[in-house]
Structure 1
């Protein structure tokens, strides 16, 4: 079957991508660690939208996971028409105090697995009509972030990587977009120990609104959902980096 692959599909933004893409009539491949959640979501999507859905359990913190995922897609004869690189996580705290392995896993999931999987699926995407890649970055990608140093750094990589690929692959008919949301109402804040920060207390967007904006702008290099987030990014462009990084640190102190 032809299908869009979504990593990190068991919750939050990834789960909402699945729902909205299913409403468009796309067949899906849902990828995450928690197979029970994927299968529950798959059942819902099949019943509501009459689409085909495959579920693949994968822990992208493992170095071989992307290769195994690509092999599974080939074995199941799935022709990839789109890729949503949504899997990722953050953690709040100072670099020297946080567990080293958790931070290395963050780099693996947020950066290395994303690059690995994208490289492996580009040949298939080149064969598809109106193919697209959406890499979930963050408004954090536009400045350094004390107290979440590794997370901000990984998202800066995702943004730069996506912009470069946008230019390289548009001649092949593949649209590459970096989604850069701000604070969003999802499991991310709980997992990253951020629910009590000024950033999240100042208000969040819904996953529905974030994904709707992303899919509407999937052929644009950068999508920043929400007027507040857009203004903050543009203000940061005209502020000294010393100020923007200190402000970012205050927001998650």
Structure 2
């Protein structure tokens, strides 16, 4: 037996198909709440619906990114990116945390990024959101130490299926070498182990581990332009 689940994303049809598979394969109850987490009104409705639910574990994983000079980006997309990557994490964490503290148990996993460790040109909005999620989650980790509530930052690099068909490869797939990717399964296993141990931060995958280590020792004046050059390729 596993945990009962609530799946949240935009497309109800996709969620319902996944819910059916999970219920059949794992003997759990799976509820579906279709919601565009980048939409403040839809988020408010979701949060209202969650008030009557005992949430024991929350994983805030939704996110999008943009590449290229900030001034050249579509503003509506950048605003949506901020709402989804940062504001949704902020609001959903706040919505479930009081119940967890009252019960003296629970777990929060917020998905930040190794990219949030460094000011990366040509990835400015994403870095803004992920740096915020990184710091916010690690701050909560220490605030919640004596409450029984675990709080772990997941700061991965690129994650995908073990094998991706050439026709389905994104620009990121084509630019980042295969050996630097981590798989969904590997990332999930490391994350759940870290959450169970109430680790402050978990960094799955070779690229994220390298970025985490390098960002701690390399001068920003050297590292940022170098990474900005790489990220510019993703936006071209």
Q: Taking structure 2 as the reference length, what is the TM-score of the superposition? A: 0.88
Q: Figure out how many residues of one structure are paired with residues of the other and give that number.
A: 225
CA distance in structure 2 between the partners assigned to 1:153 and 1:193 by the alignment: 22
Q: For residues 41 and 221 of structure 2, what CA distance do their matches in structure 1 show?
A: 39
Superposed CA RMSD in Å reads: 2.1
2:219 is the counterpart of 1:230: no
- The yes-or-no answer on 1:61 pairing with 2:38 is yes
Native 8 Å contact 1:179 1:222 kept in 2 = yes
Decide which of 100, 113, 118 is 1:138's aligned counterpart: 113
Structure 1 segments unaligned to the other structure (5+ residues) = 1-23
CA change 1:200–1:95 in 2 (3 A) is farther
Matched, 1:204 2:170: no
- 1:221 aligned residue (200, 204, 210): 200
Larger helix proportion of the pair: 2
- Structure 2: distance between partners of 1:192 and 1:173: 41
Give me the whole-angstrom Cα distance separating, in 1, the residues matched to 2:98 and 2:169.
Answer: 34
Matches within 5 A, 1:111-130: 111-128=86-103, 130=105
Partners of 1:243 and 1:141 in 2: CA distance: 17
Aligned to 2:229: 250
CA contact (8 A) 2:180 2:205 kept: no
What's the counterpart of residue 72 of structure 1? 49
**Structure 2 gap segments, 5+ residues each:** none
Residue of structure 1 in register with 2:153 after alignment:
178
Structure 1 runs, 4 residues or longer, greater than 6 Å off: none
TM-score, reference length from structure 1: 0.82
| Partner Cα separation in structure 1 for residue 226 and residue 178 of structure 2 | 15
- Separation (CA, whole Å) in 1 of partners of 2:55 and 2:129: 25
CA positional deviation for 1:221 = 0.9
